[in-house]
Amino acid sequence: MKVATAEEIRQLDLEAIETIGIPGIVLMENAGLQVVRVMNAHFPHLKTQKVLVVCGKGNNGGDGLVIARHLDNQGVDVRVTLLTEKTQLKGEAKINFDIAEKMNLPIVELTSNEQLPAFRNLLLQADIVVDAILGTGLNDAVKGFYKHIIESINKTHKPIIAVDIPSGLSADTGMVYGSCIKADVTVTFAIPKRGVILYPAADYVGNLEVVDIGIPKKLISSSRIKVHLVEYANVQGVFRKRMPNTHKGTYGHALVIAGSPGKSGAALMAGRSALRSGAGLVTLAIPENLRVPLEIPTLEVMTTSLPETPQGTVSLEAYDKILNLAQDKRVAAIGPGLSVHPSTVELVLRLIRTLEIPMVLDADAINAVAQNPEVLLEAKAPVVLTPHPGEMARLTPNIHVQNNRIPVAQETARKYNVFIALKGVRTIVAAPDGNVFINPTGNPGMATAGTGDVLTGIIAGLIAQNIIPVEAAKSGVFLHGLAGDLVVKDKGEYGLLAGDLIDAIPRAIKFIQDYC
Ligand SMILES: NC(=O)C1=CN([C@@H]2O[C@H](COP(=O)(O)OP(=O)(O)OC[C@H]3O[C@@H](n4cnc5c(N)ncnc54)[C@H](O)[C@@H]3O)[C@@H](O)[C@H]2O)[C@H](O)CC1
Ligand SMILES: [K+]
């Protein structure tokens, strides 16, 4: 599903009105009716409830007036507060105000702080509040009178239905500036806006309902919107049923270059995750000193040892051996627990320049790249990077990563011609062609050591099976989060171990396959 900025949805709205000829008043009517439908679904006893609809001065307020009219038609006890003088209303919002006035709906104009006690009184009498104060037209942090109104609504702890987006939320960034309505249900129109998907703003959304307001689907699919929310249907094609006449060679061989003293677990987890994701074979290339300790726990994963530095990390001297090892592999995962020893860093940079198989770079491989990001432009094969926000910041030192997750990932992917999976709540996968995929799976239980190594192994395991990098990154991130969700369903969030995730991968794959 596409995910819009305020400008993109405005553009779609305009095209529906001007190019297709659907009058704006029709879109607003549909929007209002859909909110009423969702309210009826959420509140079976709506008819016995008192609803306060709080309307701002723009089209979001116009939607509110449509909602109030239809609730009144249903026999609901509805009141409207208009946070502007009626003379300020324009266009469709004014038309709907005039209709509501002629229908004798109880509308109170409230425009100043002196009237806040009257507003609080109305709030006290209400059972449900409809937030139609501000939508995608928000252009600044909410201050003054609007801020007081929003804070009064939040304080009542009554169910709040937000129209399109909770008022105060930036549709574009996922940030909340000033005050914001904390909704129980948000009914967003046509397609979700970035702000209702991304955190921290997503915390204000409650249950998200995406409703059709009559903007033609073809307009949406042909629009230039490049940001998507990943859904089950988008990843099911990656996990197809296997053909009977196949063998482990069919599912590819992954090379994992990882580990250093004290970090053998990272290597092992990446290797096991690649196998759990369906790779036919995995070879773990580790520094010599880890070979014996890893011999027993690796079981299904093969190991091979590499020349090491005096500190026991993989050294530049391993270069020729790795080139040889890469000959019959479909992918190389590089980085988990590798260290940033200068010789190791030099090795990583040389491998990026010369390997001719796709690479998944994580952890210390990303730290190596951060020393010279231009090396990515010399890569001969596709590169997937899986940075957490701290690693991303090392690649893009002048930008605040967490406040700009989509643009940072998108621009870095374009600039260096790589695929990026920027980890964190709502992992962002960005491709060099500008496409961005927001991942909905995962949970805070996964904020624990080693889950990043698991993701690296999953993506490598999928590429080993000839899944193209963008699909491997997108579906790998989805699978990883889903495995975490399944574990949490059984065991709760506390004490989840990365190893639990690895064991849940097959179940998560089956869950995706069976989902309908
Ligand atoms: N295709 C659709 O999705 C449709 C959406 N509709 C609804 O229209 C709004 C967007 O309407 P718009 O008039 O552009 O903006 P708003 O109603 O959000 O508010 C604009 C209004 O508020 C002022 N303002 C902006 N920021 C602030 C602030 N921080 N404090 C105070 N006032 C502020 C601004 O100056 C304007 O006057 C969309 O969300 C949907 O709800 C259509 O109904 C149907 C099609
Ligand atoms: K709103």
- Residues 156-165 have pLDDT tens digits of 999 999 999 9
Q: What is the pLDDT of residue 195?
A: 96
- Residues 283-310 have pLDDT tens digits of 999 999 999 889 888 889 999 999 999 9
Ligand-binding site membership of 332 (annotated): no
- Residues 215-267 have pLDDT tens digits of 999 999 999 999 999 999 999 999 999 999 999 999 999 999 999 999 999 99
- The residue ranges of every structural domain in the chain are 6-224, 232-514
- Residues 10-57 have pLDDT tens digits of 999 999 999 999 999 999 999 999 999 999 999 999 999 999 999 999
Same fold, 6-224 and 232-514: no
Q: What is the DSSP letter of 430?
A: E
- Which of these, 516, 515, 452, lies nearest to 481 by C-alpha position? 452
Answer yes or no: are the C-beta atoms of 237 and 446 closer than 8 Å. Answer: no
Residue ranges around ligand 1 (CB below 6 Å) = 9, 13, 27-28, 31, 56-63, 134-140, 142, 146, 163-164, 189-190, 213, 215
Ligand-binding site membership of 141 (annotated): yes
State the complex-level ipTM.
Answer: 0.97
- Residues 487-515 have pLDDT tens digits of 999 999 999 999 999 999 999 999 999 99
Ligand-binding site membership of 228 (annotated): no
CA 409 – CA 431 distance, rounded (Å): 9
Q: Among the residues of 299-341, which ranges form H helices?
A: 319-326
Integer CA distances (angstroms), 91 to 62, 97, 115, 418, 443, in order: 9, 10, 26, 46, 43
Integer CA distances (angstroms), 336 to 240, 390, 510, in order: 29, 15, 27
CA 356 – CA 374 distance, rounded (Å): 18
Residue nearest ligand 1's atom 27 by CA: 138
Give residues whose Cβ lies within 5 Å of ion ligand 2.
Answer: 60, 131, 162-163, 167
**Residues 511, 204, 45: CA angle, nearest 5 degrees:** 85
Q: What is the pLDDT of residue 191?
A: 98
Q: What is the DSSP letter of 19?
A: I
CATH number of the domain located at residue range(s) 6-224 in this protein = 3.40.50.10260
- Residues 447-476 have pLDDT tens digits of 999 999 999 999 999 999 999 999 999 999
Residue 55 C-alpha to ligand 2 middle, in angstroms?
A: 9
Instruction: State which fold the 232-514 domain adopts.
Output: UDP-N-acetylmuramoyl-L-alanine:D-glutamate ligase (3.40.1190)
Answer yes or no: are the C-beta atoms of 429 and 458 closer than 8 Å. Answer: no
H, E, C per residue of 184-228: CEEEEECCCEHHHHCCCHHHHCCEEEEECCCCCHHHHHHCCCCEE
